[in-house]
Structure formats: C-alpha cells, structure tokens
Amino acid sequence: MSTPLTRSRRRVLQTGAALAGTGVLWPLDALAAPEGKLTWGLSLSLTSAFFDPGETPGTGASLLLQYAMHDAVMRPVAGKTSDLSLAESLNASRDGLVFEFKLRPNLKFQNGDALTSEDAKFSFERYKGANAKALKDHVAAVEAPDARTLRFRLKKPWPDFLTFYGTAASAAAWVLPKKYLESVGDEGFKKAPVGAGPYRLASFKPGTEFVYEASEHYWRKAPNVKTLVFKVIPDATTRMAAIKRGEIDIAYGIQGELVAEARRTPGLTVKTARIPVTNFIVFASMYDKSSPWSDPRVRLAANLAVDRKAINEAVYIGLGKESSSIIPHAMDGYWAPPGGGYAYDPERAKKLLAEAGQARGFDGGLLWCDATEAMAEPVQAALAEVGIKVQLRVVERAAYLKQIAEKKLTGLVFTGSGAPGNAAARLAQFVRRDGTLSYIQDEQLDREIDAQSAELDPARRKAILDQIQKTLYERAMFLPVMEYPFPIVIGPRVGVDGVNGIPGNPYTGPYEDITIKAGR
C-alpha cells in the first residue's frame, strides 16, 4: 500500500516544506530529577483558551503554553521546522493520497492514561482552529486501525498536507486525551487541561500568572527544570526592572531603547528570535462602498504615507526588516515586490488622495491594535501627516484575537502572524474568504488559492502564488509594516536558554532542554 517516505518524495509532496528524518527523533535521556525554578516575564496577557490547541487562532501567542503542555504527531522540533514527535515513522503512498503514521510505543498523557491513535484521530476531527477548513476539505478520511496507527486518506494529491498538518500553520496534529476531554467537556478542559507535553499545569490566575511542573510521563526525556512560571507584566519598563532585580529570568517584549539598556547591563544577554513574523494592517472596511478604504488609490496612499524605516529605527533600533508583503521574505513561496516595495512618499500619497476625491483628507475610523503593538501609534501619526485621521482603539491581546476571528471589526485592523508554514498557508489564513483571520472577499483570489493548492508542478505553482501576491500588492489590499525582530532578554541564572531552539517559534524551547546554571 505504501512505501517509506524518502527525502526526494518529501520534496515532491511538500514542495519545499522542511520535513527531515522519519526515524526516532530523539534518544531517550537518562532520567534525572528536575530541579529549580525559572520565571518568564510576558508582555501579552495569557488566557485559558490557549490550553486547547483545538481552537488555536494561528498566531504564535498560544505556542508559549502549548509547547509546555502538549505534544503532536508531528510538529516543529529542536533544530527542524517540522519532524515527527509522537510518531516514530511516516509512510506515504506513491500517489500522494495516503499518509500513515506509526506512534511511538507506551505513550502517556500527564494523567497517566495511554495515548493512542484514537486520541490523535479525535483531536484532528474536533479541530476548528487556523486552517481547519483547508485541512478538512482535502482529507477524505482519518483512520485509527490499531492503537499505534494513524492513517489519513486524501481526496486528491495535496502538496501542502504535511505543511498544514505538521507545522504551526495549524494545530491539528496536537494530540488531546479523548476520554478525559469527553468526560469534562471543552470548558472543563480549559479549567484543568491534560496534555502529553513535558510540563503539566500546576496553577493559573488568568491574565496574571501560569505555573507548570515537570511531568514524569513525557516520552522524550525528563525536563531539567522542575517549575516554570509565566508572569504577565504588561509594562515593558517594569519587566526590564524585574529582570535587572532578578525577579524574572527571561523577558519578552523588550523594545527600542530598553533593548540598548539591556545590552549595557552586566549579567543580561539580548538575543533575537528568528521568526517568520510580519505585522500588517487589514483594511477591514475595504468592501464597504461608502468607505474611502474601498478605493485602491486611498489604500495605496496609506501605504506610501508610512515611513517604515523610521519606525524600524524608533521601535526596534533597526533590527527589523521593512515589509511590503504579508508573507515573510524568507518563507517558501514569497514574491518580492518590484523596487523593494512601497516607498515612503507622502507627497505622492497626498496626490492620490486628491485623485480619489479626498484632497482635504478624511476620517478613516478606528485603528484597532492589541496592547503590545508598538507600531500602531507611529502609523497613526504617519497617516495623520497626509490627512487621514484614525482613532486608536487598544484591546487586550486575547480578546483582540477573538474579535479579529469574528470578523466584525471595521476601519483598520493591526494584526500579523508568526505561524510557520509557507506562502500558501499564510494566504489561506489571511486572504481566502473563509480563512480564519481573513477580511478579503475576492472570488478570483479564492480560485487562484485553490488552483495552487492542487498544482503538483513546483514552477506552475510558484507562478500562481506570485500572481496572487502581485494582485495583493498592486491593489494595496493590505498595509504591511514590518518583519519585526523579537528581542529576548536573558538573565544570569539561565544556562541553556532555548532561544531559536525550535525554528519559527518566537519563544524559548524546547522547555525540557532549558537549564539553570550550576550554583544559581
């Protein structure tokens, strides 16, 4: 029925998605009792909704908790953008229609229950997060013929199946305990989650503090650190003071001059996570014919009004990369806009507004953003310089992600994504009409996205992807701002810090590999 998935076969099936090695992923380390505690200071407010991968919105935020609590059939792992984890092998049929995983023996959840292929099947079937529709539209059946075998049958060959299933483009491969979840229900699970990851939840105060303890049931190895504490400290200056005093060991969301301060502080180390993050603005009122944002000249004017280089210097001390695309430049399938993209040209922006009948400027409505977004105010000021007045509306991150997904916002929506995958996955999420975070309503773009997903010839597929991105650029359907860096400040107690330990993950990991320096 099937043959081993060779390297060349992977390239055909994934068209560039990185899936390396299908044997045993990691050697089992000698068990050692975890010791000590490390504390993270976070800029974003955590929510119990992140406990359930089945509802993942497709942004990097939920990974902060999920890599501690859960494990997946396959996922980004140490040093690889995608590989097997709970599965020990993968076979694929030559026609590209069947993918069969064999799970590792004797897997357990944190409550001691056995983890089987039935749990993996259940988790896929209940999944309703990012790119769920794209996955389920292509899968004819998912089967669990025995306790260790998980089999997917596709309706037709799909080059991106492993990209969508086995990276953070979705969370469909994370495995949840069917028996436990059915007994407590979705809401009960969010109060007392159980996973298959290296750490179990010990306690939490929503929006304030989450505490994890090492699990003795994790298959790969015993974690080095016994207790992980995640503290929400919204103010960056306060986070900086906390790590200087030794109250926290790792700080996220440190930007601008505070990064320079951290570099000058003895005992602190600054590292930058290499992640496929683009931050951009969605024109949520683009299809409202009474809105000025429905005019492509107005949208182009807004793009030309923003001085991305100045924002990069002011907010990220030049560490970011100015962007004219919702696709990161290093992501497979990226199309490079001509001449480097939207140039800063406020005079041309004003002329375009005049051509569109908005010579005196206009009220652009709300500019929505979450409380951690440092680029929103500079963009607001830049638009005001050419006569576009927008009112900033700041929302706590978890609530904001929910509002975006509900697609009820109007005006401008500052969003972005750090989810791994490829250009096709990003377009499915933000451009296809039924994408989980898409405000675009364009039947032609939908058809082109569908066409590339079924195209097995890499050159023809790339040509379709290029055309989609060219259309988005020429019609100014988004306002891209930055591929921003993610500085992480490391305190003196931390040994192995895990920065860039998992490719594409903005946070430290794998958690079980992180260490505390001897004597600390």
| Mean pLDDT along residues 186-196 | 96
Domain positions in the chain: 3-9+40-195, 278-483
Q: Which of 112-121, 157-166, 290-299 has the lowest mean pLDDT?
A: 157-166
**Residue 220 · residue 28 · CB < 8 Å:** yes
What is the distance in angstroms between the CA of the first residue and the CA of the last residue of the chain? 55
| Torsion sign across C-alpha atoms 509, 150, 418, 188 | negative
Q: Give the fold, CATH level 3, of 278-483.
A: Dipeptide-binding Protein; domain 3 (3.10.105)
pLDDT at residue 22, rounded to an integer: 32
Comparison of pLDDT for 118 and 49, the residue scoring more: 118
- E-strand ranges in 396-502 read 412-417, 478-483, 486-490
Q: Tens digit of pLDDT for each residue in 193-236?
A: 999 999 999 999 988 999 999 999 999 999 999 999 999 999 99
pLDDT band at 18 (very low <50, low <70, confident <90, very high): very low
Identify the architecture of domain 3-9+40-195 in CATH. Answer: Alpha-Beta Complex (3.90)
Lowest mean pLDDT among 192-206, 359-373, 390-404: 390-404
Percent of the chain predicted with pLDDT > 70 = 93
Q: What is the mean pLDDT of residues 407-421?
A: 88
Residue 109 has pLDDT above 60, yes or no: yes
Residue 28 has pLDDT above 50, yes or no: no
Query: Per residue in 443-495, pLDDT tens?
Result: 999 999 999 988 989 999 999 999 999 999 999 999 999 998 889 999 999 99
Distances (CA, A) of 9 to 3, 214, 241: 10, 38, 52
CB neighbours of residue 125 within 10 Å: 14
